[in-house]
Structure 1
């Protein structure tokens, strides 16, 4: 028997207080980002606070011209390249680890805890440790070159610290544990009957992985890639002591907060946030598409 319309739409007494708390939480979470978005579109007379003065793309044009001696374009390209490499390595290593941990490994539990231990370590400590390791490498290589009498190589040697060495390692200590946790959860729920069916039909292990396993875990791989890029894109603490003599975009942005006193800093923040949102949007679309294809194959 259907209930009257007014009874079906009645909400519990605690609904509106909880809805108010949730709304305030969303405002607290996204309010600063929305404020920066709005203030970045001010006119030439705009300042760092409200009220809004005009509406234009003036500060984005100023951003394109450069902010003093800081090369925003170069920092942007460095962050983009680092994020792309981190994403690729995070995806590949997470998938391989997930496949390996499907079988019982001697010492596997200890290896897992070691892999995710960096999540509970303070980020700045991880960065300092990696930076110290690479400085020890520098010292060792210089002593080796000196002992070998390779003066030409010694003069041209700078440091092992760099974007795709120490900074890459620092970012992987942050992104890889998330990828491992996601992939382990995926394979814990993975039905091996699909692989057994492929083997019964004569598929090799490689064919079974490419044509059966990979399409089924495709949405999760896209999610790992999204985590890898977005976590790397805005990372500061783990990069600060391990980057060497160059800066990523977040580090440049952090430095500019004390020197740039115009809405151009807001324009830069808007651009970096839009890049993250675009990556997230593309990842969600790709995951949804792969999910539909996977469902179609199972049916």
Structure 2
């Protein structure tokens, strides 16, 4: 027998549907308008349907440096991702044991999340200027974005190690493994899916970060800064086409990370079953 659902269920379902529409409505609208015809504008109603503006996007642009800014954002995202994973794992391992000043250090790290991003950008830019260092996306921009990604990575690692079964490490040490061998061959393979999550956070938060890069990127824009600049001088749906492509790229990246995590979980489960069969 099917369970009878009351009025509250449908009210909550309707509210959830409106919430989803609120989240993804603007993105869907931009995606639809990006398929305007050659004489299409920036608003509805649409004037034809074509891929004209996508073709135009790959032609030589009169203004902006779209693909150069994309390469910079991609490179910066990868740099931030790798650094976030490494530092988060090291921080997670360090905080497994209480040490003097650990509480103060934890709150100092988390505090950067509640400080307005534009102030972080301004502060990092001022520090580089005072030290007579070049303000550049690979240095000051990189540092500013780490103040955004590292706290998230550390929080994930804290949750992972709070649930970590230490008996695996004890078994490895009983078998004569060194501390480094235990981390390399036992701890890291077990937490690998979580590391993929940290990497995903690091890359996606960096790839589309605007405020913390605004005053720290120097003379070369990242993709979010380039798109913001285009909004002031581009009056065609080519801007929507760019937004659609960057959204698709983000979704592909997320799908690849999720697939990698699934494959690692499957491999880990298969290895566990093989080990169990070998013990029988």
Instruction: Please report the TM-score for the alignment, with normalisation by the length of structure 2.
Output: 0.94
Q: Which residue in 2 is equivalent to 1:46?
A: 40
Shift of 1:76: 0.7
Task: Pick from 51, 57, 61 the counterpart of residue 57 of structure 1.
Answer: 51
The 3-state SS of whatever aligns with 1:65 is coil
Question: Deviation digits for residues 241-269 of structure 1, max 9, x if unmatched?
Answer: 11111110100100111111100000111
Contact 1:66 1:72 (C-alpha < 8 Å) held by counterparts: no
Shift of 1:206: 1.8
Q: Which residue in 1 is equivalent to 2:254?
A: 280
Measured on the aligned residues, the alpha-carbon RMSD in Å equals: 1.2
Query: Does residue 72 of the first structure (1) align with residue 66 of the second (2)?
Result: yes
Q: Which residue in 2 is equivalent to 1:224?
A: 198
Shift of 1:272: 1.4
Task: Pick from 157, 160, 163 the counterpart of residue 186 of structure 1.
Answer: 160
Question: Deviation digits for residues 145-178 of structure 1, max 9, x if unmatched?
Answer: xxxxxxxxxxxxxx52111110000000001100
CA separation in 2, counterparts of 1:34 and 1:17?
24
Shift of 1:198: 1.3
Contact 2:137 2:213 (C-alpha < 8 Å) held by counterparts: no
Q: Which residue in 1 is equivalent to 2:29?
A: 35
The alignment of Structure 1 onto Structure 2 pairs a total of residues equal to 273
Query: Does residue 239 of the first structure (1) align with residue 210 of the second (2)?
Result: no
CA separation in 1, counterparts of 2:32 and 2:175?
59
Moved more, 259-268 or 202-211: 202-211
Residues 97-246 of structure 1 aligned to structure 2 (within 5 Å): 97-138=91-132, 159-246=133-220
Contact 1:83 1:232 (C-alpha < 8 Å) held by counterparts: yes
Query: Does residue 86 of the first structure (1) align with residue 86 of the second (2)?
Result: no
Gaps of 5+ in 1: 139-158
The 3-state SS of whatever aligns with 2:131 is helix
Q: Which residue in 2 is equivalent to 1:289?
A: 263
Moved more, 210-219 or 222-231: 210-219
Contact 2:66 2:223 (C-alpha < 8 Å) held by counterparts: yes
Moved more, 87-96 or 208-217: 208-217
Higher CA-based Rg: 1
Gaps of 5+ in 2: 274-280
Shift of 1:67: 3.3
CA separation in 2, counterparts of 1:239 and 1:43?
34
Q: Which residue in 2 is equivalent to 1:25?
A: 19
CA separation in 2, counterparts of 1:57 and 1:264?
10
Shift of 1:52: 2.1
Question: Deviation digits for residues 273-293 of structure 1, max 9, x if unmatched?
Answer: 112111111111111111222
Moved more, 183-192 or 206-215: 206-215
Instruction: Please report the TM-score for the alignment, with normalisation by the length of structure 1.
Output: 0.88
Moved more, 91-100 or 36-45: 36-45
Question: Deviation digits for residues 211-250 of structure 1, max 9, x if unmatched?
Answer: 2111111111000110111111111100001111111010
